[in-house]
Amino acid sequence: MVALERGTLYGLPVYVNRRIHYGPLDPAEARRIFIRQALVEGDWESRAPFFQHNQRLVREIEKLEHKSRRPDVLVDDELIFAFYDSLVPEGIHNGAGFDAWRAELERTDPKRLFLRREDLMRHEAAGITTELFPPALEMAGRTFALEYLHDPCGARDGVTMTVPLVALNQVSAARCEWLVPGLLKEKVQLLAKSLPQKLRHRLGPLPEFGAGFAAAVAPGDTPLAQAIARYARETLDLVVPVDGFRPETVPAHLWMNFRVVDEHGRQLGMGRNLAQLRAELGREAGEQFAAIAGAGAAQAGLTDWSFGPLEEVMELARGSQTLIGHPALVDRGDSVDLEVFDARDKAQAAHRAGLRRLFMLRLKEQARYIEKSLPGLQAMVLQYAGLGDANALRAQLVAAAFERACMADPLPCSAEAFARRCEEARPRLALIAQELARLVGVVLAEHQALQKKLQAAKAFPEAVRDVGAQLARLLPKDFVLATPWERLQHFPRYLKAAGLRLEKLRADPARDARALAELAPLETQWLREDARQRKAGAADPQLEQFRWLLEELRVQLFAQELRTPVPVSAKRLHKLWQTLRR
In this model, does residue 354 exceed pLDDT 70? yes
Q: Which residue has the higher pLDDT, 246 or 9?
A: 246
What average pLDDT does the segment 295-310 reach? 82
pLDDT score at 123 = 60
Q: Give the model's confidence band at 300: pLDDT under 50 very low, under 70 low, under 90 confident, else very high.
A: confident
Q: Return the minimum-mean-pLDDT range out of 241-255, 281-295, 346-360.
A: 281-295
Residue type, 251: P
Query: Which tens digit of pLDDT belongs to each residue from 407-428?
Result: 998 999 999 999 999 999 999 9
Residue 426 CA from chain centroid, whole number: 36
What average pLDDT does the segment 310-327 reach? 76
pLDDT score at 162 = 96
What average pLDDT does the segment 244-265 reach? 92
Q: Give the model's confidence band at 65: pLDDT under 50 very low, under 70 low, under 90 confident, else very high.
A: confident
Crossing angle of the two packed helices 364-373 and 390-406, in degrees rounded to 10? 130
What average pLDDT does the segment 243-251 reach? 89
What average pLDDT does the segment 153-163 reach? 92
In this model, does residue 520 exceed pLDDT 90? yes
Q: Which residue has the higher pLDDT, 76 or 95?
A: 95
Helix %, strand %, coil % of the chain (to 5): 55, 15, 30
Specify which residues 217 forms β-bridges with.
Answer: none
Q: Return the minimum-mean-pLDDT range out of 266-275, 335-344, 437-446.
A: 335-344
What average pLDDT does the segment 571-581 reach? 86
pLDDT score at 228 = 95
Q: Give the model's confidence band at 126: pLDDT under 50 very low, under 70 low, under 90 confident, else very high.
A: low
Separation of alpha carbons 120 and 108, rounded Å? 24
pLDDT score at 536 = 59
Q: Return the minimum-mean-pLDDT range out of 275-284, 337-346, 528-537.
A: 528-537
Residue whose C-alpha is closest to residue 195's, from 579, 566, 582, 551 = 566
Q: Return the minimum-mean-pLDDT range out of 99-113, 157-171, 376-390, 479-493.
A: 99-113
In this model, does residue 355 exceed pLDDT 90? yes
Distances (CA, A) of 221 to 7, 175, 312, 482: 71, 5, 12, 22
pLDDT score at 412 = 95
In contact, 83 and 39? CB cutoff 8 Å: no
In contact, 146 and 96? CB cutoff 8 Å: no
Residue 235 CA from chain centroid, whole number: 26
pLDDT score at 78 = 79
pLDDT score at 133 = 86
**Where would I find the beta strands (DSSP E) of 117-249?**
136-139, 142-149, 158-164
pLDDT score at 92 = 84
Q: How many helices (H) and strands (E) does the chain have?
A: 24, 11
pLDDT score at 582 = 58
Environment class of 252 (CB within 10 Å of its CB; exposed 0-12, middle 13-18, buried 19+): middle
Separation of alpha carbons 545 and 569, rounded Å? 15
In this model, does residue 477 exceed pLDDT 70? yes
Query: Which tens digit of pLDDT belongs to each residue from 21-48?
Result: 766 777 788 888 888 888 888 888 888 8
In this model, does residue 295 exceed pLDDT 60? no
Query: Which tens digit of pLDDT belongs to each residue from 437-468?
Result: 999 999 999 999 999 999 999 999 999 999 99
In contact, 51 and 44? CB cutoff 8 Å: yes
Q: Give the model's confidence band at 180: pLDDT under 50 very low, under 70 low, under 90 confident, else very high.
A: very high
- Across 469-495, b (16+ Cβ under 10 Å) vs e yields ebbeebbeebbbbebeeeebebbbbbb
What average pLDDT does the segment 167-194 reach? 92
What average pLDDT does the segment 511-536 reach? 89
Specify which residues 318 forms β-bridges with.
Answer: 321
pLDDT score at 122 = 67
Separation of alpha carbons 503 and 453, rounded Å? 8
The radius of gyration of the chain's CA atoms, rounded to the nearest angstrom, is 32
**% residues pLDDT > 90 (the chain):** 54
In this model, does residue 296 exceed pLDDT 70? no
In contact, 148 and 130? CB cutoff 8 Å: no
What average pLDDT does the segment 81-87 reach? 83
In this model, does residue 321 exceed pLDDT 70? no
Q: Give the model's confidence band at 481: pLDDT under 50 very low, under 70 low, under 90 confident, else very high.
A: very high
Q: Return the minimum-mean-pLDDT range out of 114-118, 165-169, 327-331.
A: 114-118
In this model, does residue 237 exceed pLDDT 70? yes
pLDDT score at 452 = 94
Q: Return the minimum-mean-pLDDT range out of 65-79, 453-467, 517-531.
A: 65-79
In contact, 450 and 471? CB cutoff 8 Å: yes
Separation of alpha carbons 38 and 48, rounded Å? 12
